[in-house]
Structures are given as C-alpha cells and as structure tokens.
Homo-oligomer: A and B are copies of this chain.
Amino acid sequence: MTDHLNSAILLIHCPDQRGIVRAVTDFIFRHGGNVTALDQYVDPEQGMFFMRVAWSLDQFDLEREDIDAAFADALGREMQMEWSLEFTDHVQRMALFVSQHSHCFYDILARYETGEWRVEIPLVISNHETLRPAVERLGIDFHCLPVNKENKAQQEQKQLELLQHYGVDFVVLARYMQILSEDFVSAWPHKVINIHHSFLPAFAGARPYHAAYERGVKIIGATSHYVTADLDAGPIIEQDVVRVSHEHSIDDLVRKGRDLEKIVLARAIWQHLQHRVLAYRNRTIVF
C-alpha cells in the first residue's frame, strides 16, 4: 500500500457526474503516466465523487509544476473539481506537540529513529521541559512554550510562526493536553491530527477513562481525528478498541489505553503520510 517514489498522487472531489474516472485516467494516459493505484467513492447522499489516483512519473511528459494547470484545463475546471496534487518523493515535515504524557511521543520517536516512516521531524513543541533531552538527542529542535489563560494567544502566535519557519506540512498532537484556539485550527485545516483517549463520540472531553469506568463499559477505545474548532468533533481518521472487564481499575484502563492510543495515532499518521485521507465536511474517506 506504499506508492513508488517518483509518483504523483491526486486527491479529488467534485459533484458526481458521468465519466469522471475515464476523464482522469485519460488525462494521465495521454501524458504517458502509468496508474499504479486508483480508488474512488461516490457518496450517494451528498451526490459527491471522491478519488485518489497514483501514477508513475517515469515517462510522464508534463513537468511537475505544470500538472496542476494542465489538469485544470483538461477537466478539473469543467468538472468543478477540487484537488490536491502530491509527490511521493517529497519528504513531509511533521511537527510534534507534546506535553507530559509521553507514550505516544516515545512511540513516534522510535519510528522516526528506525526510519519506519518517510518523514522529517524538524521540531517538537511542548508546554513542559520534560522531554527536551529525548528530543535534542535526535537532533530535533525543541521549543518549550508554556501555555496559560493569559498568554495563550501569544504562545499560539509563536507556535504558528515556528510552523512556518520550519516549513512544516502537518502537526501531530501527541497527547498535547491543550485545546487549540479556533484561529490556530482554521489556519491549519485538516493538517492537525489529534489522538483522543476514548471511542468518540463516547466520552468526549476530559477524563474519558474515568467516565468509561463509571459507565461500566466492556470495551474502551481511542480515536485519531483532524482537529476542528469543535472540540473532539473533527473528522475521524482511525479508531480501535480493546476489551476490559469489571476487574480493570481506572489505572488499568489508562494503562491499556496508552497502547491503544499510540497505535491508533501511528496508523492515522501513516494514512496521512500516504495521502490516503480525504476529509469532507465532518467525515473522512480513507482510501
């Protein structure tokens, strides 16, 4: 499910109409591209068409910087498409926001250190100094920006500047424990991935494991989603669950949940890195 290097990926959506796949694949074919992966989905409720197509650029006759315009001219404009064009050899730059719950952080770091993902982590932002040594050891910049009610707007401004300065492509909140303002979120639409420690929409908000314990559920979950202005209500990328029983104390739920959270978050990041996630309104199409 990993696309070859030197490939292009188009993520498209538009009103459903006759001939879309044909038009897209015809465009690629006529310019010498070889389709290596193609997924499409029609949402019958909304009358919308969604597509992800990857093709090899080896014998493609358009320059990379000309593809967007050529695609618009050939069919994009006429078919009222919105799309994003990605190249598989671009190494994406991911910023990590962390706090003191470090299990997701360490899990991501190990994947980074072992080269599991094609990704660059230029900086980690935290509201605590705790994880600085672990970050700097890998040659990653660490910025400690403690946030409180008074300075939140200023600190977020600094965060946004840092993201720009470091040329970041997307942000991962690895149990960051702070709520981002609407301004921040709208500046990075579908570019901020969060992990929530419950099976959303159950137990949104604070202390989900306590709430799960109180309710006596037999299964707990974790949810990774894009952050929107509406807390814990953004489009869900990935969820998973694990069984629990009456024997599990809140501490046990927290312990079991940690493993769930880190795996669910890692899967969401992987899907995002592969350009497999297309968020539309409040749902995701994960190709």
| A39 located at the interface, meaning its Cβ lies under 8 Å from any Cβ of chain B in the complex | yes
* Interfacial residues of chain A within 252-267, with CB under 8 A of chain B in the complex: 252, 255, 258-259, 263, 266
| A285 located at the interface, meaning its Cβ lies under 8 Å from any Cβ of chain B in the complex | yes
- If the complex has contacts A106-B114, A202-B202, A263-B259, are A249 and B42 also in contact, measured as CB distance less than 8 A? no
- If the complex has contacts A26-B26, A236-B216, are A283 and B38 also in contact, measured as CB distance less than 8 A? no
Q: Which residue of B lies closest to A212 (CB)?
A: B201
- Whether A110 pairs with B106 at a CB distance below 8 angstroms is yes
Q: Which residue of B lies closest to A51 (CB)?
A: B38
Contacts of A102 in B (CB 8 A): 110, 114
Contacts of A286 in B (CB 8 A): 218, 245-246
Q: Return the CB mask of A27-44 against B: 1 if under 8 Å, else 0.
A: 011000011111111111
Contacts of A20 in B (CB 8 A): 35
Please tell me which one of the listed residues B44, B246, B252, B259 contacts residue A284 in the complex, with CB atoms under 8 A apart. B246
- If the complex has contacts A1-B247, A218-B236, A282-B215, are A25 and B18 also in contact, measured as CB distance less than 8 A? no
* Interfacial residues of chain A within 197-254, with CB under 8 A of chain B in the complex: 199-203, 214-219, 221, 235-241, 243, 245-249, 251-252
Number of copies: 4
Chain A binding surface, main DSSP class:
mixed
Contacts of A284 in B (CB 8 A): 216, 246
- Whether B36 pairs with A25 at a CB distance below 8 angstroms is no
| A47 located at the interface, meaning its Cβ lies under 8 Å from any Cβ of chain B in the complex | no
Q: How far is the CA of A160 from the CA of B29 in the complex (A)?
A: 47
* Interfacial residues of chain A within 47-85, with CB under 8 A of chain B in the complex: none
Give 4 nearest A-B pairs by CB, closest first.
A216-B283, A106-B110, A22-B25, A202-B202
